[in-house]
Amino acid sequence: MKNTKIISGLLYWTEGSNSRTETRVTNCDSEIIALWVKCLRERYHVNEKKIRVRLQIWKDEDENKHANFWSTLLKIPRNQFHKIRKVKRGKKKGKFDHGICGITVYSTDLVKKIERDIKYVKTFLKTKDLN
């Protein structure tokens, strides 16, 4: 994948959560989550066993269906999934085809690498005419 420094930095900058000890990207868009996992593998060379998956789904939905979808898409075994969080539907109607997925890696070294990539992206964007 070309430009992985820019893609990884921009993706985490916009979709990631801030922590000193872990990285987490959470989204309901399966393409964004799959791209992030690809970045973890190809840009950061993260040990496969360190990748953890968190799912949040509606209480009335099939846990196995959603977990199997994400496991197959991301090529991450189910034993690397945290307990699935099931939530009650509120007044606001919304449908997430496969729930909300969060990808977590516990690593201070990875946090530092991502922070460098975000800094690179910010510098890169300051020097480019975006029109």
Please give, one letter per residue, the 3-state secondary structure of the chain. CCCHHHHHHHHHHHHECCCCCEEEEEECCHHHHHHHHHHHHHCCCCCHHHEEEEEEEECCCCHHHHHHHHHHHHCCCHHHECCCEEECCCCCCCCCECEEEEEEEECHHHHHHHHHHHHHHHHHHHCCCCC
pLDDT single digits (tens) 67-107: 999 999 999 999 999 999 999 876 656 667 899 999 999 99
Share of the chain above pLDDT 90, in %: 78
Any domain includes 131: no
Instruction: Please give the model's pTM, rounded to 2 decimal places.
Output: 0.90
Any domain includes 59: yes
Any domain includes 57: yes
Domain count, the chain: 1
Any domain includes 20: yes
User: Does position 18 have pLDDT exceeding 70, yes or no?
Assistant: yes
pLDDT single digits (tens) 35-47: 999 999 999 999 9
What is the predicted pLDDT for the residue at 88? Answer: 86
What domain range is 103 assigned to?
Answer: 4-126
